[in-house]
């Protein structure tokens, strides 16, 4: 007799156990991928910082302008002697690092709910310390802050009425760059930097960097505190905000002032969210109104959020009262300290960067770039977004974080002068929003702003036939920027 073959089996485990094993394996893969992504961000940022502190290079123009002095380089200097001396290769390596950070960010955000909060928070804490020890990785804004502040407290000038060139003898002068632009920064911020500028330059420099690091940690802390209240994963919210490549390299790496503003306005939104479950919501609402206006006093870009925060508060009268008190205090600073003069945001609003949306739209429309008409239309679009978001929040206060994120997204997209770290304006609100598409929008915005940040950007856009400064409008934009910088 011929033998009957035994039926084939695919698993020795019963079907339910097989599914459980597969699920556990998938979760393990996701967790490992997330851990590697977070670790990859740490390794990449470590390379960037060590490379920037090795010798004068394109990675830190500010340190190069300062003669690579030890006080600006920090304690990590000269630890990478094998670093290439070829500036072209170094620019390429910077772009590769940004691409690696982008991949790490996306993978970490997707996998973050499977990672312990302590792991993500600890990595972000290490990144903050690492970038605190680094010289500025982009631009010279840090010394612009100190120079404008010193004009008031050291030289008796008004940064809203006198040009920075009037204080050429200040030690921060040669490291700043906006030499013919009246200060565009908020009065509360300028008051703070005027106090900071009383310190010796090296002490003011490190104090400012510490303040940025602590404020950035504060923003992350507020996001982690609020995420469960809106049904979001703490780990994912932290990863979305803290591991963004442009935030790391250009925001924290450039020691910009965004964290101070964000700590105020994100804190205001958090107070509103928690006020809805507080036994006495009135003090929370009043505090939110104060914080919202304080954020605008630090950086005027956030003023569009103040009405939304008041509308979203469970006690709107209390929130409005807090906003009125904070407005009165800010006005007192403007009158008593700055002789009634306001920041020069009108001048800054006329500056144009090559890949800002209004500039590209103007070029595609055949008018050569951003014109006064396009600028006016952008202002109207921003105003309409604030009104629409206000209607949404008035009807459903739980949508406040998402509404704030949408308004800040529109603010970035309608600006003629956009910087890569402006994605930071949107990220905390996207992390707390009910809608997922705002997170996707942050990924797209990061790719777009990152394209404008890489050193190869001019060659790339020229290869596509886009020459922003060849039109009459583009030449005027270029001349204006050069006039303010020289």
* pLDDT tens-digit series, residues 371-390: 999 999 999 999 999 999 99
Q: What is the pLDDT of residue 14?
A: 54
- What lies within 8 Å, CB to CB, of 420 at 6+ separation is 138, 246, 249, 250, 449, 450, 452, 453
Among residues of the chain, what percentage have pLDDT more than 70? 95
Among residues of the chain, what percentage have pLDDT more than 90? 86
When pLDDT is averaged across residues 149-157 and rounded to a whole number, the result is 95
Q: What is the pLDDT of residue 17?
A: 66
Instruction: For 55-80, write each residue's pLDDT tens digit.
Output: 999 999 889 888 899 999 999 999 99
Check whether 484 has a pLDDT greater than 90.
Answer: no
d(CA 208, CA 325): 28
When pLDDT is averaged across residues 198-227 and rounded to a whole number, the result is 98
Q: What is the pLDDT of residue 8?
A: 47
Q: What is the pLDDT of residue 333?
A: 97
Q: What is the pLDDT of residue 13?
A: 45
When pLDDT is averaged across residues 467-482 and rounded to a whole number, the result is 90
When pLDDT is averaged across residues 441-449 and rounded to a whole number, the result is 97
pLDDT band at 188 (very low <50, low <70, confident <90, very high): very high
More confident residue, 465 or 8: 465
pTM of the model: 0.93
pLDDT band at 16 (very low <50, low <70, confident <90, very high): low
Q: Which has the minimum average pLDDT: 4-13, 339-348, 401-410?
A: 4-13
Instruction: For 401-428, write each residue's pLDDT tens digit.
Output: 999 999 999 999 999 999 999 999 999 9
pLDDT band at 138 (very low <50, low <70, confident <90, very high): confident
When pLDDT is averaged across residues 219-232 and rounded to a whole number, the result is 97
More confident residue, 8 or 28: 28
Q: What is the pLDDT of residue 24?
A: 64
Q: What is the pLDDT of residue 10?
A: 46
The structure tokens 């420099």 sit at 205
pLDDT band at 28 (very low <50, low <70, confident <90, very high): confident
d(CA 37, CA 49): 18
pLDDT band at 485 (very low <50, low <70, confident <90, very high): confident
Q: Which has the minimum average pLDDT: 101-110, 197-206, 469-478?
A: 469-478
Q: What is the pLDDT of residue 22?
A: 65
When pLDDT is averaged across residues 103-108 and rounded to a whole number, the result is 98
pLDDT band at 12 (very low <50, low <70, confident <90, very high): very low
Q: What is the pLDDT of residue 27?
A: 81
User: How high is the mean pLDDT of the chain?
Assistant: 93
Q: What is the pLDDT of residue 293?
A: 98
């Amino acid at each position: 007799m011929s033998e009957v073959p035994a039926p084939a089996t695919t698993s020795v485990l019963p079907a339910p156990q097989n599914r459980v094993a597969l699920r556990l394996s998938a979760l393990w893969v996701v967790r490992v991928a997330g851990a590697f992504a977070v670790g990859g961000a740490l390794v990449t940022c470590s390379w960037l910082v060590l490379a920037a502190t090795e010798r004068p290079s394109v990675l830190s123009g500010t340190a190069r302008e300062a003669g690579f002095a030890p006080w600006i380089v920090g304690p990590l200097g000269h630890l990478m002697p094998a670093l290439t001396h070829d500036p072209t290769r170094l620019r390429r390596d910077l772009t590769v690092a940004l691409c690696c950070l982008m991949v790490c960010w996306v993978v970490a955000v997707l996998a973050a709910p499977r990672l312990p909060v302590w792991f993500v928070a600890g990595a972000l804490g290490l990144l903050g310390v690492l970038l605190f020890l680094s010289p500025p990785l982009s631009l010279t804004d840090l010394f612009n802050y100190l120079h404008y502040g010193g004009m008031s407290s050291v030289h008796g000038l008004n940064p809203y009425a006198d040009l920075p060139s009037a204080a050429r003898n200040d030690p921060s002068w040669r490291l700043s760059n906006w030499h013919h632009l009246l200060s565009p920064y908020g009065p509360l911020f300028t008051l703070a930097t005027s106090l900071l500028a009383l310190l010796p330059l090296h002490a003011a420099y490190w104090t400012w960097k510490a303040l940025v690091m602590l404020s950035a940690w504060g923003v992350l802390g507020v996001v982690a505190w609020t995420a469960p209240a809106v049904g979001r994963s703490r780990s994912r919210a932290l990863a979305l905000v803290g591991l963004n490549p442009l935030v790391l390299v250009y925001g924290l790496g450039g020691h910009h002032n965004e964290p101070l503003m964000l700590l105020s306005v994100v804190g205001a939104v958090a107070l509103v969210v928690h006020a809805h479950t507080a036994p006495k919501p009135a003090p929370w609402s009043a505090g939110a109104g104060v914080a919202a206006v304080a954020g605008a006093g630090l950086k005027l870009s956030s003023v569009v959020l103040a009405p939304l925060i008041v509308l979203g508060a469970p006690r709107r009268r209390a929130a409005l009262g807090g906003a009125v008190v904070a407005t009165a205090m800010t006005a007192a600073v403007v009158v008593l300290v700055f002789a009634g003069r306001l920041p020069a945001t009108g001048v800054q609003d006329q500056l144009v960067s090559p890949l800002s949306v209004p500039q590209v739209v103007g070029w595609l429309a055949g008018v050569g770039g951003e014109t006064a008409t396009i600028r006016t239309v952008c202002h109207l679009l921003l105003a309409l977004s604030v009104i629409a978001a206000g209607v949404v929040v008035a009807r459903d206060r739980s949508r406040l974080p998402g509404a704030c994120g949408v308004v800040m997204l529109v603010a970035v997209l309608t600006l003629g002068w956009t910087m890569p770290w402006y994605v930071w304006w949107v990220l905390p609100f996207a992390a707390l929003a009910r809608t997922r598409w705002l997170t996707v929008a942050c990924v797209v915005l990061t790719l777009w702003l990152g394209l404008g940040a890489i050193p190869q950007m001019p060659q790339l856009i020229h290869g596509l036939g886009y020459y922003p400064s060849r039109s009459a409008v583009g030449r005027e934009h270029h001349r204006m920027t050069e006039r303010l910088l020289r």
